[in-house]
Structure 1
Amino acid sequence: MNATLTWQQKMHIYTLEAKTEFLKVFRMPAFAIPSLIFPMMFYIFFALVFNRGGMNGQVPMYMLATYGVFGIIGPAIFAFGVGVAIEKDQGWLALKQCSPMPISAYFFARIVTAMLFALIIVISLFTIGALFGNVRMTSSQWLFTLILLILGCLPFCAIGLWLGLALKGQTAPAVVNLIYLPMAFLSGLWIPIQMFPAALQNAAWALPPFHLAQLVLKIQDNDLGYPWWVHTGILLVMTLIFLFLAMRAFKKISESK
Structure 2
Amino acid sequence: MNALAPIPFTPRATVALYLREARLEFLRLLRTPAFSVPTLVFAPMFYLLFGVLLNRGNAGASSYLMATYSVFGVIGPGLFGFGVGLAIDRERGLLTLKRVQPVPAAAPLLAKVAMAMIFAACIGAMLLVAGVTLGGVQMTPSQAALLLCVDILGVMPFCALGLLIGTLVNGSGAPAVVNLIYMPMALLSGLWLPLRLLPAVVEQIAPLWPAWHLSQLALKIVGQDSGRPVWMHVAVMLAFTAICLFLAQRRLQRA
TM range (shorter): over 0.9
Q: Within the alignment, does 1:86 sit opposite 2:92 as a pair?
A: no
Q: Within the alignment, does 1:48 sit opposite 2:52 as a pair?
A: yes
Q: 1:112 aligns with which of 100, 111, 114?
A: 114
Q: Would you say the 8 A contact 1:165–1:246 is kept in 2? A: yes
TM-score computed with the length of structure 1 as normaliser: 0.95
Q: Would you say the 8 A contact 1:83–1:164 is kept in 2? A: yes
Which residue in 2 is equivalent to 1:203? Answer: 205
Q: Which runs of 4+ in 1 moved over 2 A?
A: 194-198
**What's the C-alpha RMSD, in Å, of the aligned pairs?**
1.0
1:130 counterpart letter in structure 2: V
More divergent stretch after superposition (143-152 vs 3-12): 3-12
SS at match of 1:82: helix
SS at match of 2:54: helix
**Residue ranges of structure 2 left out of the alignment (5+ in a row):** none
Q: Would you say the 8 A contact 1:18–1:110 is kept in 2? A: yes
2:83 counterpart letter in structure 1: G
* Count of paired positions: 251
Post-superposition offset of 1:6: 0.6
- The structure carrying a bigger helix percent of its residues is 1
Which residue in 2 is equivalent to 1:242? Answer: 244
Q: 2:217 aligns with which of 215, 218, 235?
A: 215
Which residue in 2 is equivalent to 1:136? Answer: 138
Q: Within the alignment, does 1:16 sit opposite 2:20 as a pair?
A: yes
How far apart, in 2, do the equivalents of 1:2 and 1:201 lie? Answer: 53
Post-superposition offset of 1:195: 2.3
1:10 counterpart letter in structure 2: T
Give the fraction of aligned pairs with identical amino acids, expressed as a percent.
Answer: 45
Post-superposition offset of 1:200: 1.3
2:37 counterpart letter in structure 1: I
How far apart, in 2, do the equivalents of 1:223 and 1:133 lie? Answer: 19
How far apart, in 1, do the equivalents of 2:218 and 2:95 lie? Answer: 35
Alignment of 1:93-242 (within 5 A): 93-242=95-244
2:169 counterpart letter in structure 1: L
How far apart, in 2, do the equivalents of 1:202 and 1:234 lie? Answer: 16
Q: Would you say the 8 A contact 1:2–1:102 is kept in 2? A: no
TM-score computed with the length of structure 2 as normaliser: 0.96
Which residue in 2 is equivalent to 1:5? Answer: 9
How far apart, in 2, do the equivalents of 1:185 and 1:170 lie? Answer: 25
**Can you list the C-alpha shifts for 1:134-175, whole angstroms capped at 9, x where unaligned?**
111112111110001100000000000010111111111111
**Can you list the C-alpha shifts for 1:58-77, whole angstroms capped at 9, x where unaligned?**
11111111000000001111
SS at match of 2:106: helix
How far apart, in 1, do the equivalents of 2:208 and 2:187 lie? Answer: 13
Q: Would you say the 8 A contact 2:132–2:139 is kept in 1? A: no
How far apart, in 1, do the equivalents of 2:39 and 2:86 lie? Answer: 17
SS at match of 1:25: helix
Post-superposition offset of 1:3: 5.2
**Residue ranges of structure 1 left out of the alignment (5+ in a row):** none
1:76 counterpart letter in structure 2: G
More divergent stretch after superposition (119-128 vs 11-20): 119-128
Post-superposition offset of 1:113: 0.5
1:237 counterpart letter in structure 2: A
